[in-house]
Amino acid sequence: MRSNRIANPMPRGYLMRSYSTLRTTRVVLAGGCLMLAATLAGCSGGGGGGGTGTAATVTSKAIRIQMSTPDVSSFAASLVSTPPRVEDVRNIVLAVYEDTTNESKVIRTVTAPVPPYSGEIVVRDIPPGKHLITVSANKDDGRPAFSGDFVSNFAPGEPTFVDFTAAPVADVSRFNYAGGQLPTRPFTYVITAAGSPYRITDIILVPKGVRLEIQPGVELRFESDTAQQVGDTPFPADMQIHGRLTCVGTSQRPIVLTRNVSGTVSRRPRILFSGDQPDPIQSRVRNTNIESCLLGIELLDSDVSISSDQFIDGVETGVVVGTSSSSNLRGNLFRPQEISIPGRPSSEIFPSGIVLSGAIGTPILRNQILGGKAGIRGGDSRELLIENNDITDTQVFGIELSNVQNVLVNSNRISARKSPVTTGIQVTRTTGTVAQNRVTGGTLKIGLGVDSCLSGTATTDRLLVDHNTFKGAVVANVQIVASDVSVTFNEISGPSAVPTFRGCGVSINKIAKVYPQQPVLIGNHIHDHLGLGVGPSPDPALNSFSKGGGVLGGKGKFDANLLQGNNGAPKGETDTTLGGTIDGTFDTSTPSGKTLQIDSVDAVVSTTTEAIARVGAPAQ
């Protein structure tokens, strides 16, 4: 589990509202317990708190629920007027999840009426292994009075009985809630739509061990950045989360986090998650609209699920996944916008959808990013999955990766429809796979840029670019610089929408400096470019470097590339260039009577005249 990077989240000189610390009394709910049994097991015998199964059975679980009741006298400052009581509980709802997190599927739900509360409840067909179990003790109106969760292992040799304490739940919607530090004792605070919209004048700070739940339909309107720490140092975020936040709306009733005064922008993140704590309930932000801030959500040393949210109204950068953090970023909508603030250096302005800096194991799936300067940017990260995202009209990069280890960039769609885009996908000093992506657009400068991506040896650990479609770039659909990338079975086609610039299919540059490591091109269909099919870049910025290089296929039938109609050749004419050796001289010869489609490339049986099956990205 990751450590908290902020050693003192409530520093000396803290000027924000602070609520009283709660004293709790443990109350045991009388008369029975909840029994969980797997199908492979009968009920294990034994009373008390012990008991184990045998190697031939899966141990049953008996859960004895205890509840903590807060002392009313400690609430004179008013966060909770009527604290929950055990006597108010009318039913207990127990849910068993498929694995150990609340992001997994619920596989069993059981409701026990109270009162009476007696006998046993048997939950059958629970697979062996570790499972998250949540408990909600509800009142007459269905709202929870107590709640909690734990992870238990259904396996032979595990304890039969589990003592479990449910924490009290406080509904703050009946008060004029304006933010502030929540008490540090284990408690779940709930903000409901009943008091919405809420005007938030202090930052909201959730300490370790505390949970905050924001329910569907809630609107929080944040004031100007006035809450201070010591002296003139502002707090790092409007909402600072060291415990757990569940901010889950619905598509019909989203949660809205915005500004109290329209047309103003918060200079700090709207939500900052800092320091992951032991808790099976993962923080979640879902179906939430985040508006009017330089940065929507920032993660430091945290693991958070962010899904189906919108960052489209006055947000410069949507999400930053920082050092030692992971996030499941799924199905969000981003529209990054440049926000002008007097005195801010222009170097700090780079509107982006998603930024990863030191992230670990982060899946980025099915997001839509419209405009800004970059869609997804990743640096100094590892084990990333970037898949099925739609990125349109980002001015500089669709996807940019630098110093990323073991990344899979798969089945993304990047296009330049209305605005020029410099590079669709740019990878620098990166390992992994770029596969099945579609990068298209008449105002796209470079489809895929590969720079300084070198394997450990001349034959292993290459960056793989496989079964992609790159179409219509102005300078080059694929630009390789000082890299030994493997480019296989891609559809690489022109022309661009700028006929005055003779863009090429694959440009190969600065290869002499990495010799004998060379890029490999196998089974690609490279056709209909105004410039060369394969050769040095037409970009003047690369003219001063040594040109050419590369191994264009091998001698096998399926190793060669198909080059047609490039550099002014008739549309159906193929280039069957042969010759050259792996000697760093980068010479080629052109068959008599053919248009030169390959130049300055060291080739070994480079091309074929036969069609290549299933080249390019699959239909999407």
DSSP structure string for 398-449: EEEEEEEEEEEEES-EEE-SSS-EEEEEEEES--EEEES-EEE-TTEEEEEE
Among residues 489, 388, 398, 488, which one has the least CA distance to residue 444? 398
- Both 285 and 342 in one domain: the answer is yes
Residue 409 falls within a domain, yes or no?
no
- Both 332 and 210 in one domain: the answer is yes
Burial of residue 442 (number of CB atoms within 10 Å: 0-12, 13-18, 19+): middle
Determine the pLDDT at residue 48: 31
- Both 209 and 87 in one domain: the answer is no
Determine the pLDDT at residue 51: 34
- Round to whole Å and give the CA distance between 239 and 505: 48
Rounded to two decimals, the pTM is: 0.84
Determine the pLDDT at residue 493: 93
| SS3 category, 540 | helix
Cα 47 → chain centroid = 46
Give the tokens for residue 68.
Answer: 């903590």
Determine the pLDDT at residue 462: 85
Answer with the one of 349, 371, 390 that is the final residue of a domain: 349
| SS3 category, 75 | helix
Residue 279 falls within a domain, yes or no?
yes
- Both 196 and 126 in one domain: the answer is no
Q: If phi over 0 gives left and psi between -120 and 50 gives alpha, with beta otherwise, what is residue 48?
A: left
Q: Which helix (H) or strand (E) segment is 491 a member of? A: strand 491-493
Residue with tokens 């690489």: 492
Determine the pLDDT at residue 335: 97
- Both 153 and 236 in one domain: the answer is no
Determine the pLDDT at residue 409: 97
- Both 127 and 199 in one domain: the answer is no
- Both 337 and 223 in one domain: the answer is yes
Answer with the one of 349, 383, 415 that is the final residue of a domain: 349
- Both 201 and 274 in one domain: the answer is yes
Judge whether 443 and 497 are in contact, CB under 8 Å: yes
Judge whether 334 and 370 are in contact, CB under 8 Å: yes
Residue 313's CB is within 10 A of a number of other CB atoms, namely 14
- Both 187 and 66 in one domain: the answer is no
Determine the pLDDT at residue 59: 45
- Round to whole Å and give the CA distance between 10 and 8: 5
Residue 401 falls within a domain, yes or no?
no
Residue 575 falls within a domain, yes or no?
yes
- Both 342 and 468 in one domain: the answer is no
Residue 368 falls within a domain, yes or no?
no
Domain containing 197 equals: 1-17+178-349
- Both 322 and 288 in one domain: the answer is yes
Give the tokens for residue 166.
Answer: 């449910």
Pairing of the two strands 310-321 and 333-334: parallel
Determine the pLDDT at residue 443: 84
Residue 506 falls within a domain, yes or no?
yes
Answer with the one of 300, 318, 349 that is the final residue of a domain: 349
Determine the pLDDT at residue 144: 85
Residue 213 falls within a domain, yes or no?
yes
Number of compact structural domains in the chain: 3
- Both 209 and 120 in one domain: the answer is no
Q: Terminal CA-to-CA distance of the chain, rounded, Å?
A: 39
Residue 367 falls within a domain, yes or no?
no
* pLDDT beneath 70: ranges in the chain: 1-64, 68-83, 115-125, 156-163, 174-175, 186, 224-235, 276-280, 457-460, 497-500, 542-550, 553-558, 576-593, 602-607, 620
Instruction: List all residues 6 or more positions away from 568 whose beta carbon is below 8 Å from its beta carbon.
Output: 530, 595
Determine the pLDDT at residue 333: 98
